[in-house]
Structure 1
Amino acid sequence: MTTPQRLSDLRTDYLRPYRDGTLTVYNFYLDRYFAWCADHDLEPLRATRPDVERYIEHLLVERRMSGASVCTALTSVRGLYRFAHQECAIERDPAQYARRPRITTLPKDTTGLDRAQMQDFLLAGQTSGGRYYATAFLLCCMALRASEACSIQIENFQKTSRGHRVLEFHGKAGVPARMPIPIPVVRALEAAAGDRTTGPLLLRQDGGPLSRQGLGTIVNTLGRRAGIKGLVVRPHLLRHSCITNALESGASIRKVQDLARHAEPRTTMRYDRNRTNLDDHAVHSLVAFIAPPDGDETDAELAAG
């Protein structure tokens, strides 16, 4: 078997488990890497660790990509080499120990919508009715991603389990998910379904299934109707807000991880840290413990400069 054919077969086998957006992104970054290899007369299956590090330098210096973007671009490249090594197509994995950029980020200030804003958003969805009603409650109460909300079929929420109405769907990377549906959410879903018993829950005005872009338009419209100022309301902001408000309500990290369907609790904990990193930082208790008595200025006056 020729090297190009062997590489093509390995690529096909490696990508076989992936679907939809993930497959598109992985193909994009593999195409970019193979194009770079061709420009440098390098056969990908004969690449060495220095070759991979030269590619990383190319992304950083010539393409001026951020460290985080470079690491994302390397995901499918590293995955393909790992797969090829496991299948004994190469003796060594050239990407395994290649030095990647170190990613350092500050906690984000964004905590999403607060409780009052979430209530206003849900009320705007309820009064708008139909797909607006279902969209608001799916995103604000169930923490669904945009693609997940668009994929919901009417058949997905007709079952009951242990006395609970349940929503069954496939989440990120095709992972099956099942969630109980609170009564207010059931009402929203049934309002959008109307007399229909099968097919997509969220529809366009022409009767076709709603796209992610269409969902984004609905969310933005509801944000304006809810009177939310200073923020562009998008589907992911609502998912973010759903998670932070669940934490505010007193739910444990483990329970909120189940709600968000995060694979790792560390992902959920980032939302918790971003929510409180300034309010309960240790510097407050330290200064209160050791600082000398205050002068006449108040904390608010000092913060204002």
Structure 2
Amino acid sequence: MSPRPISTVTTDLVVAPAGTLVRDEDEAYVRRVCEEIERQWALELKNAHTKRAYRRCVGNWFDWTLDNGVSPLAARRQHSAQWSADLQEVLGASAVNQALSAMNSWYEYGLDEYPQAFEIEHTPWRKKHRVETSDESQTLGLDKEEAQRLRAMSWEYGAADAAVIEILLGMGLRSAELEAANVASYGGARGHRTLQIVRKRTKKQTLVVPPDAARALDEHLARRPGRRDGDALVLCADGKRLTNRRIAGIVQRCCRAARIDKALSPHGLRHTCATLMLDAGVPLRKVQRFLGHADPRTTNRYDLARHDLDGSPVYDLAGYLAKA
């Protein structure tokens, strides 16, 4: 069976009003159409470096929209805004703006050359989705050497502090996610140590716990023989649950001891986790999915991808940090 021409793309797709793909088989077809437009669009880009960067960015946009059950051919401005917000948790302002510019360029070309292929008349990109750039980073993070020093110093304060640092840095958790984690959420699956957390909007995700974080948790929990499943995963020295303020205090104390002259926040360790994963060669989309950036409207057919333990980027990061 020969592929349908681009001109017929909207004749039999089942697309909901918000651009959501209804049938599974539509995804493969939409991706094929988008990639064909992308190949033609790339011929218009003269600079080889820009072409590589833009094609990578547009490919990430296709992955993000389709992972969230949305057709790129019918994406709205709210999708562009959410993608921009998700990228900002992983990339710097300049890289986010480059991705948005690439996406906008693809839409301008596609809507001009293949208007019949789209369910929209205008690009979903808006100027307000751009990130303001400045000489100072919006989120402070650590380089590899600083991260190694911080991890080593955290063990000087005991297993609880080490667990906090290892989890925030090695797994990229938000403070609220660590606060909410209970003893029962820590376990194992498929030969991995795992932690089930609750992301934003009550979405659950199971993550691999890297070896050093697991060692810190095991040591900390071993000192709490009377613990119950509903108890906090990590307790402070006074036996109370972690709070955002207490987590920030642990991060700042360990930074001072490691002679890291940065006003680092817990979110800065999440930023560091993402940056170092990218430095370790983990693909951007894999980092985004690991950090829980998929839209909550993602359909159930992506559950297995989100819970892929064997290929967790936690292992890539752990190996990268273990190298001198």
Q: Compute the TM-score of the two structures, normalised by the length of structure 1.
A: 0.50
Q: Compute the TM-score of the two structures, normalised by the length of structure 2.
A: 0.47
Structure number with larger C-alpha Rg: 1
Which structure has more relative contact order (CA 8 Å, sep 6+)? It is 2
